[in-house]
Chains A and B, each alone.
Chain A
Amino acid sequence: MPMRRFLSFRDFDWGLLVVVLVLCAISVAEIYSATLLTKFHGFHSRQILWICGGMIAMFVLSRVDYHRLLDFVPWAYGFFLLGLAAVLIPGIGHKALGGRRWIKLGPMLFQPSEWMKLVLILMVARYFANLGGRRLTWGDIGKAFAMVGIPMLLVLKEPDLGTALTYAPVLVAGLFLGGINLRQSLILLTVGLVLGAGAWSSGKLLKPYQKARLTSFINPDEDPKGSGYQVRQSLIAVGSGGIWGKGAAKGTQTQGYFLPIPYTDFIFAAFGEEHGFVGAIFVLLLYFFILMRLIQNAQTASDLPGSLIIMGVVAVLTFQIAVNVGMVIGFMPVTGIPLPLMSYGGSSVLFTFLALGVVMNVRMRRFVN
C-alpha cells in the first residue's frame, strides 16, 4: 500500500485554488451587480454559501483515494442511471422551468443529471484505463458510446439539452486519449454527421424550441422577439461595453433587464458590458490558467486513470467555457449551459468544486510509487 505521509495538504494545488477563488470573487461581485435592482437581490450571498459548501466538499473528496472512487464508481453509475430513469416518471420526477429534472428528497431537490457528469468522468477514465492504452477495437468504442450515450439520451428526454451535451466531451476526451486511431475517428465523424443530420430532420430527438435555439444564433435579427432576442441583447451588452466597460453596476443592458438572466447563463455578457474587453480578457486568462494547470496536473499524475480523470474534467470545463462564452458573443447557439465558477447556481458550483476535488485528489497522490 502507498505510504500515507504523502497525503498532506502541502501537495494541494494552492495556486489553482487561488485562481479559482479569484474567479469566484468576480462571480459574486457580478451576481451582486446583476441582481441589484431585481427581486433576485441577495443571490450573491447564496452563491458565497454554495462556494463555501463546494470548498468543503472539495476538501472531503480529495481525502478519499481516487482509486477507491474508481472501484466504487460502477455502483454510482448504476444508481444514477436509475435516478435518471426515475426522474422521467411523473410521480417521482419534479418538474420546474419546463423540464422534469429533479427528484424531491424531503426539502432538497436532487438532480441526478448533474451528478452523472462527475460519475461519467470517473467511469470513462476507469474504462479506458482498464483498456491500458492498447489499440481500441470497434467493440471497445461501442461500449464507450453506450456508457455515455444511455444517460445522455435519458437527460435529453427530460428535456435538458445543455446538460446532455456536456456528457459528450467526456466521451470525446476518453476516446482521444484512450487510443482511438485516425481511421476510426474519421469513420466515427462521418457516421456521426450522417446520424446527426438524420436526427435533425426526423424531428424526434430535438424539440422545436431546441431547434430554434440552435439556429437562431446564426441570424438573431430574423427572430428578434424569440430566442434571437436573447442573443441580440447579449451581443448589444458585450459590444456596448467597449474596451473599458461601463463600470460596475452601470451596465444599461444588465441593469435595465434587457439582458436575459444576467446572473446565470449570461453572466459573462453582464461582466463584459460592465468591465469591457479588458475585464473579459482577464477572465479568459484566468480560465486559460486553470485549464493549463489542470493539464499539467494530468501530466504529473502517477498513473493513467489519474490522468484520464483530470483530462475528463478539462474536457467538461473547456466545453462549458467554449459553449457559454461562445453563446454570449454569438458564436454558439443558446443551450442553457452555465459558465463554470461564474454562473449563479448550486449544482453548477457544487459540480465544479467536486470535479476540482477529484483533480486535487489525483495531484496529492502524484508521488505514489
Chain B
Amino acid sequence: MYLDRATRGEKISGAKLTAVQYGILLMMLALAAGLWRLQVLGADNFRVLAEQNRIRKVPLLAPRGKLFDRENRLIVDNYPSVSCFLVREQNHNVDADLPMIANGLHLDLDQLRAQLNHYRAAPGYQPIPIKQEVTPDEQAFIEAHRNELPELETIDVERRLYPRDGFAAHLIGYVGEVSEDMLNNDMRYAAYEPGDVVGRAGVEETYDQVLRGQDGSRDVIVDSHGREVGYLRTQHSTPGQDLRLTIDNDLQRAAELALGDRNGAIVAMDPRNGDILAMVSRPSFDPNLFTVRIDRTEWNKLITDPDHPLLNKAIQAQLAPGSTFKILMSVAGLQEGIAQDLHVNCSGGANFYGRFFACDARHGAVDIHNAIPYSCDTFYYTLADKLGIDRIAKYATAFGFGQKTGIDLPSEQAGMMPSAQWAMKNYHRKWYAGETISVGIGQGAIEATPLQLARIIGGIASGGHMVRPHVVMPDQLPADFRHAIEDTYPGTGKVDLPIDAANWQIITDGMAQVTEPGAFHTAGSAHLEGIDLAGKTGTAQVMSHEALGRTDKGSSTNPNVWFVGVTPRRNPELVVAVLWQHGEFSYYPARIGAKVVAAYVEKQRRIAHNLAPTKQAAPDKPAEVGAVWTTPDGPRKPDGTQSARLHAGRFFVAPADSDAARLTAQPAPGPRPAQAVSPSQLGVALPVRRIRLP
C-alpha cells in the first residue's frame, strides 16, 4: 500500500486554498482589465487597423483627355492596357520570388532587382511599377500564382496612342512616368506619386492638369493573402477633358510632307488670333516609345542624335534670322522717316568703319521699294548705320525679338536681340558701330526662333497687330486656368504697335514682290499663280566666308535658310515660317512655305465654294485603330450571371477595307483578306470578369 494510515486524515489547509482562489480571481481580473483596455478603450483605434488590414484602395485611373484637331478630328487616342505592380507590404519574402517573377513576366532579373532597390526607402505599401503592357500570357501567369506571389498586382490603365509617324509629335509631346527629380524639385508635381503618368513635353505637359482627369478608387476587401473577396465602395474616376487643338490636320499634313526629311521646322499661324495651324520639327520621333518605359538604346539614340530629334525647333531653335530681319529693319526705317528717302547704289557691297561689307549681287540703284524683293544688303547696311543700334533694338524688342512669344508650350526659347546695353551688361564692353551693320541684315549676335519670326512678320503684315500664339483652343478652358497658363508661359503676348498705313503698304508690297518672278527677286520660283503670297527669305551664315574657305565639313557648314510668308499680303490669314538648318538656297524654304500656303488657300477656297475634297489616291499604309469588345466565357450560370472575357486590341486596318461593316465583324473568325488585320496586330485579353447579363 502506498499510503500509511497517518496521512489519511491530513488535509490541505483552508487558508492555502483560499489564497489560491484569490490568486485565480486576481488573474481573472487582470485578464478582464486587459480585455477592457483593448475592447472598450481601444476599440475605435483597432477597428481602424482592422479596416486597413482588409480594405485596399485600388486606384481607378482616369483616362487622359483625347486630343482633336480644330475640326474635331481625332489625333491622340487611348487604348486599354494592363500594368503590373509589386507591393512589398505583404507578409512575404519578395526577394526570393524575384527570379520567378522575372521569368514569368519576361523581365531582366538584374534590372528588376535594381528597380526594386531604387524604391528601397519608399514605404512598403507603395506599389512599385515593374511591368507595363502586360501580355495575355503574363496576365495568366499572375492570375495562376496569386497564392505564391501575392505581391503582384495588376491594374487596368488607359494608355496613350499617338500617331505612329511622328505626326505633330513635338507639338503634342508625350507622357511618361513622373521622374524622381520632378517630384522632388518641381512644385507643379508636389501632389503626384511615383509611377504617376504625366505629360513630359508639348501639349501633354502644358495641359497635364486638364488632360489627366481625376483618378478614382475602389475599396477592395482582401484576405491576408491579398486575394480580392469583394468590393465596398467605388469612387469613379473623372476622365480627363478632351482638348481641341488649333492644329488643322490637313495643313499639318501638308507641312509635314513639304518639309520632308529636312532638318528644320515649319510654323503656320493665323496672325489674326494666334491659332497655330501647323507646327513641324524635323527630325521627328515616335511619342509612343515613351508611353511604355522607353528602351535605353532608343533613348540614347534620341539624345545623341546631332540633329536633336527631341528639340521642338519651331520654338527652340535660336538662329540668326538672316535677311528676314530686314522686314523689321524696314519698319524701323520707315517709321523713323529715314528709309523713305534712302537711295543706295549697290555695287556688291560697301565700306563701313574701315571694313568692307559684301552684298550678294550688284543691285544698282536701290530704294525701299525694291530693297525687300532684292534683299539688298548694301541698302540695309546703310539703313542700319543711319538708324543706329539703339533705335534698331527698340523696334526689334517692341516687336518681340529676344523675348518669348508666350506660346502655351513648354521650353520656348527667347532668342537674342543685341544692343549697346546688352554688350555692356554681359560683356562689359562698348558696342562697336561695325556690329550694327551686321545686325542690319540679321547676322551677328541676333537670334530668333521660327515662331518668333512668324509672329513678328505676321504682325507687321497685319499693320502691327501682334498676337499671342497658342496651340489649344482657349474657349474650352476655364478662365482661371487660361490665366494660369499665361502666367506660367509669359511672353510678349498680344500687343498693338500701329504702323503708318503708307509704310505698311510699302513693306507688304515689297514682300509680295519677293515671290513675283523678276530680276534679283529672291524667291521668284515660289510664286503661286492666283495666290497673293508675300514673304521674305533669309540666309544666315553659320561661319564667316573666310572660315568657310578653310574648312571642308560638307553640309554642316551650309547656311541656315529661312522663309517667312503671309497670305494675303495685307491683313493675312496665314503666316508660315520655314527653317531649313544647313540647307541650300533660300528659295528652297520659300518653295516649302509656298506648298503650305497653297494647301491652305486651296482648302479655304474649297470650303468657300462648297467643293468636295480633291480625290487623292488612298494611302497604302494601314491605319491603326484601338478596339474593346467582350465575348462570353463559359456557360451562363443559374443566377443569371455569366463570365465574360474582355478583349482589347490594336489593329492595323487597311484603309480600303475599313468600312463600318467590316469593323463590327471584327471578332468573327473565318478567312479575311490578308491585309485587313495585319500579322502585327496586338490583342490583349484581359482577365475574366464576371458581368451580369440582363
Nearest residue, chain A, Cβ from B92 = A225
A218 at the interface (CB under 8 A from B): no
Q: Separation in Å of the B9 CB from the closest CB of chain A?
A: 8
Contact, CB under 8 Å: B35 / A280: yes
B495 on interface, CB distance cutoff 8 Å: no
Q: Contacts of B225 on A, CB cut-off 8 Å? A: 257
Residues 47-65 of B, flagged 1 when their CB comes within 8 A of A and 0 if not, give 1011101100000000000
Contact of A238 among B6, B8, B17, B35 (CB under 8 A): B35
Binds A, one of B25-33, B168-176, B390-398: B25-33
Central interface residue in A126, A299, A321, A329, by most chain B CB within 10 Å:
A329
Who on chain A is nearest to B7 by CB? A132
| A276 at the binding interface (Cβ < 8 Å) | yes
Q: Which of B8, B16, B51 has the most CB of A within 10 A?
A: B8
Binary contact readout A232-244 vs B (1 if CB under 8 angstroms, 0 otherwise): 0101111111110
Within 8 A of B (CB), among A267-312: 272, 276-277, 280-281, 284, 287-288, 291-292, 295, 298-299, 303-305, 307-308, 311
For the complex of A and B, list the 3 residue pairs with the smallest distance between their C-beta atoms, beginning with the closest.
A239-B46, A240-B50, A277-B39
**Interface bits A299-338 vs B (CB < 8 Å: 1, else 0):** 1000111011001001000100110011001110000000
Q: Enumerate chain A residues within 8 angstroms of B1, measured Cβ to Cβ.
A: 71
Q: Which of A129, A239, A252, A322 contacts B43 (CB 8 A)?
A: A239
Known A-B contacts A240-B49, A243-B40; A329 and B7 likewise in contact (beta carbons under 8 Å): no
Q: Are A243 and B39 in contact (CB under 8 A)?
A: yes
Given contacts A318-B24, A329-B31, contact A238 B7 (CB under 8 A): no
CB contacts (< 8 Å) of A252 on chain B: these are 50-51, 53-54
A263 to B418, CA, bound (A): 85
- A79: chain B residues at CB < 8 Å are none
- 7 more A-B contacts (CB under 8 A) besides A233-B53, A280-B39, A314-B20? A130-B3, A239-B49, A256-B54, A325-B34, A326-B31, A330-B38, A369-B8
Cα(A272)–Cα(B40), bound, Å = 12
> Which residues of A have CB within 8 Å of B7?
129-130, 132-133, 303-305
The verdict on A176 contacting chain B, using a C-beta distance below 8 Å, is yes
Asked if B12 and A311 sit within 8 Å, CB to CB, the answer is: yes
Please tell me the size bucket of the interface on B: 35 or more
Minimum C-beta distance from A47 to chain B (A): 23
Evaluate contact between A253 and B53: CB separation under 8 angstroms: yes
Is A258's beta carbon under 8 Å from chain B? yes
Classify chain A's interface size: 35 or more
B529 interface contact, C-beta 8 A: no
**When the two chains form their complex, are residues B27 and A256 in contact, meaning their CB atoms are under 8 A apart?**
no
Nearest residue in B to A276 (C-beta to C-beta)?
B39
B2, A71: Cβ atoms under 8 Å? yes
Asked if B620 lies at the interface with its beta carbon under 8 angstroms from chain A, I say no
| Cβ contacts A155-196/B at 8 Å (1 or 0 each) | 000000000000000000000110000000000000000000
Q: Is the CB of B38 within 8 A of A235?
A: yes
By the criterion CB–CB under 8 Å, are B28 and A239 in contact? no
Find chain A residues with CB under 8 A from B51 CB: 252
Whether B10 and A132, one on each chain, are in contact in the complex, defined by CB atoms closer than 8 angstroms, is yes
| A369 CB contacts on chain B under 8 angstroms | 8
Residues from chain B with a CB closer than 8 A to the CB of A70 are: 2-3
Inter-subunit contact B6/A236 (CB<8 Å):
no
Is B46 within 8 A of A225, CB to CB? no
Contact yes or no, B12 A304, CB < 8 A:
yes
- Could you show 22 A-B contacts with beta carbons less than 8 Å apart? A70-B3, A132-B10, A176-B16, A236-B50, A238-B46, A239-B42, A239-B47, A241-B39, A256-B223, A258-B53, A258-B224, A277-B35, A280-B39, A281-B32, A284-B32, A288-B28, A298-B12, A311-B20, A318-B24, A329-B31, A330-B34, A369-B8
List A contacts of B40 (CB < 8 A).
242-243, 277
Least CB distance from A259 to B in Å reads: 8
A50 within 8 A of B: no
Given contacts A257-B223, A298-B17, contact A239 B38 (CB under 8 A): yes
Which B residue sits closest to A314, measured CB to CB? B20
Give CA–CA (A132, B10) in the complex, Å. Answer: 7
Asked whether any CB of chain A lies closer than 8 Å to the CB of B554, the reply is no
Q: Are A229 and B34 in contact (CB under 8 A)?
A: no
Selected contact of B46 from candidates A236, A308, A321, A331, CB within 8 Å: A236
Taking CB atoms, residues of chain B closer than 8 Å to A318 are 24, 27
Whether the pair B28, A284 counts as a contact (CB closer than 8 A) is yes
**Are A129 and B223 neighbours in the complex by a CB distance under 8 Å?**
no
Q: Mark A211-228, 1 if CB is under 8 A from B, else 0.
A: 000000000000001000
Please determine whether A295 and B20 come into contact, CB atoms closer than 8 angstroms. yes
Whether A272 pairs with B3 at a CB distance below 8 angstroms is no
Chain B residues with CB under 8 Å of A242's CB are 39-40, 43, 47
B11 close to chain A: CB less than 8 A: yes
Asked if B222 is at the interface of the complex by the 8 Å CB criterion, the answer is: yes
Indicate if the CB atoms of A240 and B2 lie closer than 8 Å. Answer: no
Could you tell me the distance in whole angstroms from the C-beta of B582 to the nearest C-beta in chain A? 62
> For residue A235, which residues in chain B have a CB less than 8 angstroms away from its CB?
38, 46
Closest to A131 in B: B7
Verify B50–A229 contact, CB threshold 8 A.
no
Residue B45, interface by CB 8 Å? yes
Give the distance in Å from the alpha carbon of A22 to the alpha carbon of B17 in the complex. 26
B-contact bits for A352-365, CB 8 A (1 contact / 0 none): 00000000000000
Contact residue among A133, A243, A287, A330 (Cβ-Cβ distance under 8 Å from B28): A287
Chain B residues with CB below 8 A from A305, complex form:
3, 7
B222 touches A256 (CB 8 A): yes
Q: Known: A284-B28, A295-B20. Contact between A225 and B91, CB under 8 A? A: yes
Residues of A within 8 A of B47 (CB): 239-240, 242
Taking a contact as CB atoms under 8 Å apart, the answer to whether A329 and B34 are in contact is yes
Tell me the minimal C-beta distance from A224 to chain B in angstroms: 8
- Given contacts A240-B43, A280-B39, are A303 and B54 in contact (CB under 8 A)? no
Task: List the B side residues contacting A314 at CB < 8 Å.
Answer: 20, 24
**Best-surrounded residue of B6, B10, B16 (most CB of chain A within 10 A):** B10
- Residues of chain A contacted by B6 (CB below 8 angstroms): 132
User: What 1/0 flags go to B600-634 for Cβ under 8 Å of A?
Assistant: 00000000000000000000000000000000000
The closest CB in chain B to the CB of A71 belongs to: B2
In angstroms, Cα B29 to Cα A331, docked, is: 13
Q: How far is the CA of A70 from the CA of B7 in the complex (A)?
A: 14
In Å, the complex CA distance between A238 and B46 comes to: 8
Interface of chain B residues 211 through 267 with chain A (CB within 8 A): 221-225, 229
Known: A235-B46, A311-B20. A304 touches B27 (CB 8 A): no
